[in-house]
Amino acid sequence: MRAEVGDRIVIKGHRIGEPDRDCEVLEVRGPNGGPPYVVRWEEDGHEALFFPGSDASVDHLRSTHEREGAS
C-alpha cells in the first residue's frame, strides 16, 4: 500500500451490516509512501498508528484535489 498525507484509508466492514470505517493519513512513517501511517479517526479525532491489512484501501481523492488546486 502507498499513501500520502491527506489520503483517506477505508477499512471494509468485517461482518454483514458492519459499516466501513475511514481515517485520514496525517503522517507517513514508512519509506516511499509505505506503512505505518499516523492516522486520525473521523468521529472522535483520536490518532493512532495504522498498519494496513487486506481489509484496507487508500482513497487518494483528497490529495489529488489538493494537488490540482495547487497547480
Partner 1 sequence: MRTIDAVHRSGVGLGPERTIREAASVMEQAGVGSLAIIDDERLVGIVTDRDLVRRGLARGLPADARVDSVMSSPVLTIDADVDHHEAFGLFRRNAVRRLAVVRGNQFVGMISIDDLLVYLACDLTDLARPITAEILFAQHDSPVPATA
Interface residue list for partner 1 (CB under 8 A): 11, 13-14, 18, 21, 23, 29, 35-36, 41-44, 46, 48-56
Q: Toward partner 1, which CB reaches closer, 41 or 60?
A: 41
- What's the sign of the alpha-carbon dihedral 17, 56, 8, 25? positive
Torsion-angle region of 33 (φ positive above 0: left; ψ -120 to 50: alpha; else: beta): left
Distance separating alpha carbons of residues 4 and 65, to the nearest angstrom: 13
What does the alpha-carbon distance between residue 9 and residue 55 come to, in Å, rounded to a whole number?
10
Q: Give the shortest CB-70-to-partner 1 separation in angstroms.
A: 30
Closer by beta carbon to partner 1, 57 or else 63: 57
Least separation in angstroms between CB 9 and partner 1 = 8
Least CB distance to partner 1 at residue 64 (A): 23
